Structure 1
Amino acid sequence: MQIDDKYWDQRVIKRKNRKIISGASKESATYFELLNLLSLMPRDNLSLHQLMNALLNLILQITAMEAGAIYLKDDFSNTMELFVQEGFSQEYLNIMKTITIGRGFSGRAAQIGKVRVSQLRQGDPRFIRPASEREGFQCFICLPFRDDGFFEETLGILNMGSKKDVRLSTDTLSLLRLLSKQIGNKLANYKIFKLAAKRERWAEGLYSIAVEIQSLHDIPKICHVVSEEARLLFEADFCLVTITNKPSVPLTVAPAGCISQETACKLAAVFQENFREDLQAGSIIISGKMITKILNFSELKLEALCVVPVQIATNPCGFIALGYREPKNLTEEKKVLERLSNQLAAAIDNAQLYLRVQQLTAVKERNWIAREMHDSLAQELGAARLEIAKIKNHLENGQENKVFEGLSYLDNILKQTYNEVRQAILDLRIKTGTENIIEIIDTYLKDYSKKTGIALNSSLPSRLVLNPALEVQLVRILQEALTNVRKHSQADKVSVELKIDKGKIILTVKDNGCGFAVDKLPSNAAKFGLTVMQERAQAVGGKLYLSSEPGKGTEVRAEFPH
């Protein structure tokens, strides 16, 4: 057998054990082989299996025993499970697949953590099962692998039997006791390594999930991503994420793995009904027959289940459940799942906040559009209505010339109104939140110049990344400023500059039109959209500046924090 792993430093081990080894010269060579094997660091179950097989064969050589079996502690129960064996009959193995710690000769050795030797020629009442006597063993040895450091428990045990009357020397027994501790320490290192690797993988998985869900704003989508990723991360048979908006009323049920949507909904309802108070107190772990008894879901064939509540500001809003069809100790999984629950709660809270912001933004946007329509469309239509009333009077008085003049004026009003509506529709169609808002603005400016006949000079950065809210308000301010140029300035040239300067995003729109005295701004200034532009700038933490003089044009400058 060949194990391709690195060796650990042997100097400390050799120094501590030199006295014992010197008294057992016959076994010393084999003992050093054992030390070399123990120095190998198993990194997976396959290499551990190979290592234990090699250890078993060498210890059988030292002791001259005929058969041996190594058992390792089951993390889920108080038992030792058969791992590797050599020389035992199948009948023996059928009886001795499992050793209960504290019960029988081997179980007691595992409990106290000391080597036990029995001569079975005349029977031994410490053996509660007849398997060893049926094998015809005359000598039986139990070698527990105990760790007195990190775990402080017996992590495995080696049972050895011989049909010959083997008498072990004091030196050999000393070697076995020494080996017992060293193998226990190595098993502890192996478990620590495996636990550290698992925790590292879990940490990387949690980070990956957090990155994926932090940009999502759809709660069902968030739940499905968490459910799928958590099932893979924890290697579970199924994962279920349930979020509620009211007690006992599931809002989102997201299953993954060996569970259908229908069964998931039933399971969610059972948890909401029977475990609401338990989940308010914290996470719960259910195992074995209790799952079928409590949940009455025998079709899932579960052996282990961990359920962790999801809480937003201490208010329960759902749970995450992991299910396994094999017995499993879920203590470590529960701790990590609780961290994932916190990430899910934060993502849901952000999604709800985002939805509320979107709703408020939509309300504000509707109000701004309503005011803009009142300032332009409503006033134009009001003027048209007054002109129609005048035309009626002219008809009643037989003033045909004035009727035609009124109709011509009315036609101009309707054309202007049509153009206003058409331009407003085009403005609202501009899509923000795209990969490069600069391309959108540049296309809009070219289209504006072409349709209005106003020469436009622009200075734009090649690329600018803004948050969605700022993008919307910047574009709307630009549109309103250019609308004022078209309607009121009588300008034939306009310049648009967008730049980043000293940590600020600055938008400047300047025309060569008639201008006006800012300090003598008429009371109907809202007609020029100035109030709306100011409110839009303030909504995203910006400011609006206006400068103008009669005959010298107008400049509108908006500044936003970057």
Structure 2
Amino acid sequence: MRWRGQLSFKFLLLGLSLLLLALISIGMTMWVTRQLDGGAAAVNEAGRLRMQAWRLVSARQGGRSEDEIRQLVGQMNASIELLHRGDKSRPLFVPWDEPATTSFAALSQSWQTLQPYWQTAPAADAQVLTQLVDRFVFEVEQLVFAIEGKMTRLTAILNLFQFFMMGLAVVAAVFTLYVGYLYVIDPLQRLRKGLRQVEEGDFTVRLDEQAPDEFGEVAAGFNHMTGRLRSLYDGLEAKVRDKTRDLEAQRARLAALYEVSNFLTEADTLEALAQGFAQKMRRLANADAVAVRWSDEASQRYLMLASDCLPQELVDEERCLEPGTCACGQPMANARTRVIPIIPADDRLLGGCIKAGYSSLVSVPIRLQQRVLGELDLFYRSQASLTSEEQGLFDTLAGHLANAVENLRTEALVREAAVSEERAMIARELHDSIAQSLAFMKIQLSLLRSAVLRGDREQMLQSLNELDAGVKEGLQDVRELLVHFRTRGHSDDIEQALRSTLNKFEHQSGLKAHLELSGHGVALHSDVQLQVLHVVQEALSNVRKHAQASEVWVKVVKGPPWSFSVRDNGRGFDAAAVDGAGTSFGLQIMRERAAGVGAEVRLASTPGRGTEVLLTLPQ
């Protein structure tokens, strides 16, 4: 029965045994103590018999009444009866044994002999009575000696029990320690020793699991654990090696991805981009040759964009391919990354590759989102294989190439748009300034020609003066345009650019210019600064051309929001009429520039009181 071998059962059995022994010892001690208490009370009661006997003698000799003597005799009988019966409540009882029984019988017989002498009326012989009483007292003393002898033996037994209990306590303590060491401490020490060996890397350690107790179950679990750890440890090195190899492969893929991506972001021309990508892909894929093909706008042909280590004859032969005519040019509808074995049976599609000595081909479509833009071909002189990780890497790199080519195209479009915008701006500037001056001078030349033909000297002088003024005006417009085109913003502060602009304005126009700045705003972006300077220059140009002013004030409030005010003390005009007519090309140009940065231009002018142009930037 397995439960009998459990530690809990063993310790329960040990505890119950010790408890039983303790209860027996305590019970015996209590029984001996009670016997001693009863014997001591019996000795006291027997001592009273001697006193009562002498009281009877004294009462008889003193001439006491018969009633008093009978009362004393009754007390004597009661005491003897009490000794015979005992009293468990006190407790009082004679520890009966053979000496005590014999002594009590002799005492009773002596009392039976002495008792009639107290009941007779005439006085007995004093000498005889004294002898009988002495005899009775002697029997009482013998009974007391018998009881005391018994009590002495019980006391010895009690002392023996005490020594036994003390020895039992020592033995129980030693036995308990031994049992604890045997069943608890020793198994724990073996378990600790095994754990230390496991900590040191020894997984071959085993514990004895034959004991049918809890430690046997623990030992079985420990042995199972060490066996499992050993199996895991034995396979750990292989797992670490495999994991290290996988991590190294991933690191190599990430390094390749970073290298190619970094190159694609740095390449600035399509030729350098495609050629560099082909070289890096050949080294990365361990291919013998690489070709990068790109589709035309109609997606009907693949054009050879770049190649690396590909025979020139094959490059010339496959410079332009129609989809489906060669294994290199997959139809775009079902293009996918795949490995194509090159075998003589496919001579129609792979004839050039066979002649070049290639055995397999890896074709990777170049996609931008879901649209196929081209194809990457990797040529091998041996049989090639393609894992899922390599396929994902090649597809990712091909996608990066597509993004890089698209970025180059976008940058080219942006540059083209910037050039177109700059040309349109120059055309507007020329149209609004020099073209008008040239048209005015053309009219004056016609008038001069007519005046020469008529011989009108006064008209000729007037036309010559107008032509001179027009040439000066055109020259001044050219200088202003050059200032506009050379203007650059300052990323830290616009104050320097404004002071430079006002200095040039004073030199060209001879007018006094003032600059006022207030506020503490965050510096404007360089593109915003450039447009602000153009608006300010256009406003100053209008002052020089039309205001007939003597001074100009430029006030700047550093935001938020930023605002720029150009105010003069010229002749002014009706601002509402000019806005309604829409004939002010300068004002229109300023508003177009302001709208480009989200700003607003307002015009305020009163005839005879000057003009103010206010530019307010967004918050």
Q: After the TM superposition, which residues 522-541 of structure 1 pair with which residues of structure 2 at under 5 Å, given as runs? A: 525-541=582-598
Partner of 2:32: none
Q: Structure 1 residues 253 and 424 mapped into 2: Cα distance closer, same or farther (>3 Å)?
A: same
Deviates more, 1:478-487 or 1:266-275: 266-275
Counterpart residue number, 1:147: none
Q: How far apart, CA to CA, are the structure 1 residues paired with 2:410 and 2:576?
A: 42
1:307 to 363, 367, 370: 363
Report SS of the residue matched to 1:546: strand
Structure 1 Cα separation of the partners of residues 555 and 275 of structure 2 = 45
- Structure-2 change in CA distance of 1:533 and 1:449 (3 Å): same
Report the secondary structure of 1:283's partner residue. coil
After superposition, residues 10-409 of structure 1 pair within 5 angstroms as 184-205=238-259, 208-209=262-263, 211-212=265-266, 216=268, 218-224=269-275, 226-228=277-279, 230-231=281-282, 238-246=289-297, 247=299, 253-255=305-307, 257-259=308-310, 264=315, 266-267=317-318, 269-270=320-321, 273-274=325-326, 275-286=328-339, 289-290=342-343, 294=350, 296-297=352-353, 302=358, 305-312=361-368, 314-323=370-379, 327=384, 329=386, 331-409=388-466
Partners in 2 of 1:442 and 1:266 — Cα distance?
66
* Kept after mapping to 2: 8 A contact 1:241/1:318: yes
- Counterpart CA distance in 2 for 1:506 and 1:302 is 71
CA drift of 1:227 comes to: 4.0
Report the CA distance shift for 1:437/1:332 in structure 2 as closer, same or farther (over 3 A).
farther
> How far did 1:318 drift?
1.7
Query: What is the SS of the residue equivalent to 1:521?
Result: helix
Moved more, 372-381 or 273-282: 273-282
The question of whether the paired residues in 2 share the 8 Å contact of 1:544 and 1:558 is answered with yes
Deviation at 1:329, TM superposition (A): 3.6
The CA deviation at 1:347 is 3.3
**Counterparts in 2 of 1:547 and 1:523: CA distance versus 1, 3 Å:** closer
Amino acid in structure 2 at the alignment position of 1:403: M
Change (3 A) 1:312 1:199: closer
Query: Deviations 1:241-266 (Å, cap 9, x if unpaired)?
Result: 333433355677134x5347875565
Q: How has the CA–CA distance of structure 1 residues 260 and 197 changed in structure 2, closer, same or farther, with 3 Å as cutoff?
A: same
How far apart are residue 421 of structure 1 and its match? 3.3
User: For 2:296, what is the secondary structure of its paired residue?
Assistant: strand
Q: 1:186 to 1:408 in 2, by over 3 A?
A: closer
In the TM superposition, residue 302 of structure 1 has moved relative to its aligned partner by: 4.9
Q: Which runs of 5 or more structure 1 residues have no equivalent in the other structure?
A: 1-9, 20-176
311 and 186 in structure 1: CA distance in 2 versus 1, 3 angstrom threshold: closer
Tell me which residue corresponds to 1:480: 538
Amino acid at match of 1:241: V
For 1:367 and 1:401, locate their aligned partners in 2 and report how far apart those are by CA, in whole Å: 42
Secondary structure at 2:405's aligned position in 1? helix
- Counterpart CA distance in 1 for 2:589 and 2:554 is 19
* Letter of the structure 1 residue corresponding to residue 296 of structure 2: N
1:127-183 superposed Cα distances (whole Å, 9 cap, x missing partner): xxxxxxxxxxxxxxxxxxxxxxxxxxxxxxxxxxxxxxxxxxxxxxxxxx9999666
Q: Which amino acid aligns with 2:366?
A: V
CA distance in 1, matches of 2:481, 2:322: 53
- Residues 174-226 of structure 1, C-alpha deviation per residue, up to 9 Å, x if partnerless? xxx9999666534422332222322432453365346536xx5x544543454
2: CA distance, partners of 1:471 / 1:449: 21
1:254 match: secondary structure = strand
Task: Give the TM-score normalised by the residue count of structure 2.
Answer: 0.50
In 2 relative to 1, CA 307–484 (structure 1 residues): closer, same or farther, beyond 3 Å? farther
1:330 Cα deviation from its structure 2 partner: 5.3
Change (3 A) 1:333 1:545: farther
Given the alignment of the two structures, is residue 451 of structure 1 paired with residue 508 of structure 2, yes or no? yes
**Partner Cα separation in structure 1 for residue 514 and residue 364 of structure 2:** 60
Q: Which has the larger radius of gyration?
A: 2
SS at match of 2:589: helix
Of 482, 490, 514 in structure 1, the residue corresponding to residue 548 of structure 2 is 490
* Deviation for aligned residue 1:335: 1.0
Q: Which amino acid is the alignment partner of residue 318 of structure 1?
A: G
Question: Is the 8 Å Cα contact of residues 513 and 553 (structure 1) preserved in structure 2?
Answer: yes
Measure the CA separation in 2 of the matches of 1:480 and 1:260. Answer: 62
**Contact persistence 2:302–2:322 (CA under 8 A):** no
Letter in 2 for 1:483: S
Deviation at 1:373?
3.1
Structure 2 CA distance for partners of 1:179 and 1:363, relative to 1, 3 Å: closer
* Residues 493/396 of structure 1: CA separation in 2 closer, same or farther (3 Å cut): same
Residue-by-residue CA offset, 1:504-526 (whole Å, 9 max, x unaligned)? 77665555544444323266644
Query: Identity across aligned pairs (percent)?
Result: 22
Kept in 1: contact 2:514–2:552 (CA 8 A): yes
Task: Give 2:140's aligned residue.
Answer: none
- Which range moved further: 246-255 or 311-320? 246-255
- Distance in 2 between the 1:298 and 1:437 partners? 68
**Kept after mapping to 1: 8 A contact 2:547/2:570:** yes
Task: Determine the C-alpha separation between the residues in 2 that align with 1:260 and 1:509.
Answer: 70
TM-score with structure 1 setting the length = 0.55
Distance change (3 Å), C-alpha of 1:224 and 1:258: closer
Q: How does 1:521-560 map to 2 (within 5 A)?
A: 521=578, 525-550=582-607, 551-557=609-615, 559=617
CA positional deviation for 1:334: 2.6
Check whether the contact 2:198–2:205 (CA below 8 A) recurs between aligned residues: no
- The RMSD of aligned alpha carbons is 4.9
1:339 deviates by 2.0
Flag the 1:482–1:492 CA change in 2: closer, same or farther, 3 A: same
Matches of 2:481 and 2:596, distance apart in 1: 21
Q: Tell whether the 8 Å contact from 1:253 to 1:265 is kept in structure 2 after alignment.
A: no
Which residue in 1 is equivalent to 2:480?
A: 423
Q: Deviations over 1:391-446 (max 9, x none)?
A: 344445543223212211222112212332343355345579x9999788876665
Task: Indicate the structure with greater strand content.
Answer: 1
State the alpha-carbon separation in 2 of the partners of residues 319 and 539 from structure 1: 42
Shift of 1:449: 4.3
Q: Structure 2 counterpart of 1:378, which letter? A: A
Amino acid at match of 1:253: L
Task: Give the secondary structure class of the aligned counterpart of 1:529.
Answer: helix
Q: Distance in 2 between matches of 1:180 and 1:525?
A: 91
Tell me which amino acid in the other structure corresponds to 1:205. E
Cα distance 1:393–1:210, how it changes in 2: closer, same or farther (>3 A)? closer
Q: Match for 1:400: what amino acid?
A: R
> What is the CA distance between 1:336 and its match in structure 2?
1.9
Partner of 2:218: none
Segments of structure 2 that go 5 or more residues without pairing to the other structure are 1-196, 207-230
Count of matched residue positions in the alignment of Structure 1 and Structure 2: 392
